Structure 1
Amino acid sequence: MISHRTSLRVLALAAAATALSACGGGDKPATETAETTTPAAEAPAVDVAAPAAEAPAVETVAFASLTGDAANGEKVFGQCRACHVTDPGVNRVGPSLHGVIGRTAGSIEGFKYSPANKNSGLVWSEEQLFTYLEAPQKTIPGTYMAFAGLKKPQDRADVIAYLKTQA
């Protein structure tokens, strides 16, 4: 009598043999046990000379080519409100973004910035914010800002237009 554990081993070996034969592991049948032999199912032909499908091109949009909409930017800024406000002198988890455009990164007195942010030397121009808001960790590796970023260029331009009204 074959135990349950032995049956599982036989099935596992059969699956492994099938996988190996599908990968060109030999010319033996796909599944083979001591008791039975079953011919492998034919796999569909693969044209190894065909070029691999190319990944879609990433759209690069320059900030200067966009017109920001401050009203929509205020809505998009809702994602930022968990950590930031635009009230002057009010810091939360993140620093106040009141008057951020033109300010040096890491410069609000008394706010605990990451060393990466404080020592970045960046000045928050509209173009720099546009880049930063796409991928904060990529722009300033080591920043404490855990936000993944705003992937849509128009959303970033709109948030910047809104922040310009908050100075």
Structure 2
Amino acid sequence: MAMLAACGGSDKAADATTATTTAEVTTPAIPEATAPAAAPAADTAATATPAAGVTLASLTGDPVKGEKVFGQCRTCHVVEKGVNRVGPSLWGVVGRQAGSIEGFKYSPANKNSGLTWTDEQLFTYLEAPQQVIKGTYMAFAGLKNPQDRADVIAYLKTKA
């Protein structure tokens, strides 16, 4: 009952119960209410700062973990040679020219990007595809975690 009152419930019985313990419930509730609001901003800043300086060279990709992360990509991509889905096959993607699989309908932006899918280019692209190739058909928002990107690249390198 005291929990309902602390969460904004208006039950009279809960109000009566809370009245006897108002000092106990109210005093801890104020610091708890203000602490979470401040904590995410600090956590976000702490996370964003190191990630901004993280490079692929500073990470070691794990292909086993990368295969698990790649599960997010399987809706549109497979790693079997010659098998396209909504997205092109990613078999042999590392080192390949962007937009180069014959018969696959790429966006003009992707086909004409002039990019080669090096490890570093994939690392950048996988973070925010639409920012790297404006106009790409790829609707995926990206992998924000640098380690996830390194792991996926390590996995893709095993598929060629």
TM-score (norm. length: structure 2): 0.69
Does residue 114 of structure 1 match 2:112? no
Q: What secondary structure, in the 3-state scheme, does the structure 2 residue paired with 1:84 have? A: coil
In the TM superposition, residue 132 of structure 1 has moved relative to its aligned partner by 0.2
The structural deviation recorded for 1:159 is: 0.1
Deviation for aligned residue 1:126: 0.2
Amino acid at match of 1:69: D
Structure 1 segments of 4+ aligned residues over 2 angstroms from their partners: 53-59
Unpaired stretches in structure 2, ≥5 consecutive residues: 1-40
The question of 1:162 aligning with 2:151 is answered no
- Alignment partner of 1:145 out of 111, 127, 138: 138
Per-residue deviation, residues 12-55 of structure 1 (Å, max 9, x unmatched): xxxxxxxxxxxxxxxxxxxxxxxxxxxxxxxxxxxxxxxxx998
| One-letter amino acid of the counterpart of residue 118, structure 2 | S
Flag structure 1 segments of 5+ consecutive residues without an equivalent: 1-52
How far off is 1:93 after superposition?
Answer: 0.1
Equivalent in 91, 94, 98 of residue 91 of structure 2: 98
**Number of equivalenced pairs:** 115
* Corresponding position of 2:64: 71
DSSP 3-state at the match of 1:121: coil
Question: 1:83 maps to which residue?
Answer: 76
Structure with more of its chain in helix, by fraction: 2
Q: Which has the larger radius of gyration?
A: 1
Give the letter for the 1:92 counterpart: R
Q: Percent identity?
A: 77
Cα offset, 1:154, TM superposition: 0.1
One-letter amino acid matched to 2:127: E
Q: Which has the higher contact order (CA 8 A, sep 6+)?
A: 2
